[in-house]
Amino acid sequence: MRSLVTLPQSGGINLVIADCSFSKFSTCGGSIIATESSIQASLCNDFNNSLYVRDYIRYNQREERKYSSTQTFEILISNNTFTNFEFLKKRQIELPTDEGSAANVEFESLHNIGILADIDSMQGLHFSFEDNKIKNIQQYFGLWNGQAYDHCGSIVKNIDHYIQVFHLIILKNITQSRAIIAGNTFFNLSINGPLIQLQDLGNISNDYIIANNDFSLIHGYMNANILSIIRKGTSTDLSGRILVKGNNFQEIAGCPSVSAGILMIGVQKEQSLRGSEEWALGIVPEAISQRLEEINHQRINEINSESNYLEISHPNYRGLTLHLYKTILSGNTFANISMGVTRDMSFTAHGALLKFVNIEGMAAQENSFTNIGAYTVEHSRELLSQIYGIPKEFLSVNEKGELSSASN
């Protein structure tokens, strides 16, 4: 069983999950995942200390016919608390294991998994994740070497198959949609992939707004620590309609296999070669592209035009403004953060705090940066000690190195 609530991929949805407490879930997937059934629901309960729960809420045929013609998907997840997910997989509960690496999977459908929300293949989705508290969720990859726990040395073993990457929230293969993730607190977290992953399908961009969230005490394992946005298509209009505003990022680090300390936003024009690192990890290749070289002066004027801003109306948050052709980073605070590590794969994956790959336009304004530096063993060990409750002397050194090498 994968989900508490199972959603349809067609028909109408009006789903609200509000004022609930979810604790100690241990599943293979998220609280929400798309599948074929027809649901309109309002869910509000306390599920503390639950194990596997699968709740299908179905209306009668009259209600199904009523909503199936609308083809709109309204999902609001608001003012909830999510704590201690993956509880049964914690080290002190599970038997000792020699497996310290992420799983390899054969099918693309198992490549990226959402722990809280896993939504796939929807058109016209309005997804709002607002004012929630997400705390104390960890995946334990520490491998005991006889003297200490090595959290990073074996995280990636091979690239013959997809590497299974976990996220708190993933929206994938969605079109003509809008996602707002705002006012949430993310604290004391460590999972193997970016906390949030958003994936477009086709040449029409979705609207993505990440605003007024607090991210603190977080340690990642690969790709990016906090946010990954991937767009696949050949259109020149895939760089815009993204706003990252008013967020607080502090005390964040990752393993040397993390290349973006906070966020990675990229446009992928071509399919990655099977068996390559970027294919296995699910990231946009950073090989030199002609995409940016093709921008002419007329296009530059269009990117910078003040007439291409789009104001988003929201009852609780003001000043949410997108640009049709630019990613906007505004009013964010970054403090005590380790950047990603540059490494050689089939291409050079550059290490950075913020990564933009094949993005034509980006505007950054009124952001604050304090104590930002390269990856250090000391910072990684300090955060791992706090997150997992392990004394620092029992955490081995995470050396920089190639992705599949003995030291990483």
pLDDT in tens, 63-104: 333 434 446 788 999 999 999 887 666 655 444 454 577 888
Rg (CA), the chain: 21
225 with 311: CB under 8 angstroms? no
27 vs 382 pLDDT, higher one: 382
Of 143, 139, 288, nearest to 220 (Cα)?
139
CB 363 within 8 Å of CB 304: no
If one compares 294 and 47, the residue with the highest pLDDT of the two is: 294
User: Is the pLDDT score of 150 beyond 50?
Assistant: yes
Domain membership of residue 357 (yes or no) is yes
Q: Could you tell me if residue 403 is inside a domain?
A: no
Dihedral (CA of 201, 202, 208, 214) sign: positive
DSSP element (H, E) containing 60: none
* Residues 33-63: tens digit of each pLDDT: 544 432 333 344 444 433 322 332 333 333 3
Residue 295 lies in a domain: no
Query: Count of domains in the chain?
Result: 1
Share of the chain above pLDDT 70, in %: 75
Please name the helix (run of DSSP H) or strand (run of DSSP E) that holds residue 334, with its range, or none.
Answer: strand 333-338
Residue 63 burial (CB count, 10 A): 14
Burial (CB < 10 A; 0-12, 13-18, 19+), residue 402, is middle
Closest by CA to 59, choosing from 2, 15, 125, is: 15
Under the banding of pLDDT at 50, 70 and 90, the label for residue 249 is very high
Tokens in use for 4? 């508490």
What pLDDT score does 60 carry?
A: 30
DSSP letters for 163-175: EPEEEEEEEEEEB
CB 190 within 8 A of CB 138: yes
- The reply to whether 294 falls in a domain is no
Top pLDDT among 321 and 342 is at 321
**How confident is the model at residue 386, as a pLDDT?**
94
Give me the residue label for tokens 């995942």. 33
Domain enclosing residue 156, as ranges: 5-284+306-394
The predicted pLDDT at position 262 comes to 97
Summary mean pLDDT of the chain: 79
pTM of the predicted model as reported, rounded to 2 decimal places:
0.86
> pLDDT (tens digit, 9 = 90+) per residue, 153-173?
778 777 888 888 999 999 988
Phi, psi of 230 (to 5 degrees): -125, 125
Sheet strands (E) in 191-226: 196-200, 207-211, 214-220, 223-224
Tell whether 405 is covered by a domain.
Answer: no
In 8-72, which ranges are E strands?
A: 13-18, 21-23, 32-34, 41-43, 46-47
Q: C-alpha angle 107/404/100, rounded to 5°?
A: 70
Token code pair at residue 132: 């929630």
Rounded Cα distance, 70 and 56, in Å: 21
pLDDT in tens, 199-234: 987 777 899 999 999 999 999 999 999 999 999 877
Flag whether 354 is in a domain: yes
Indicate the SS3 state at residue 118: strand
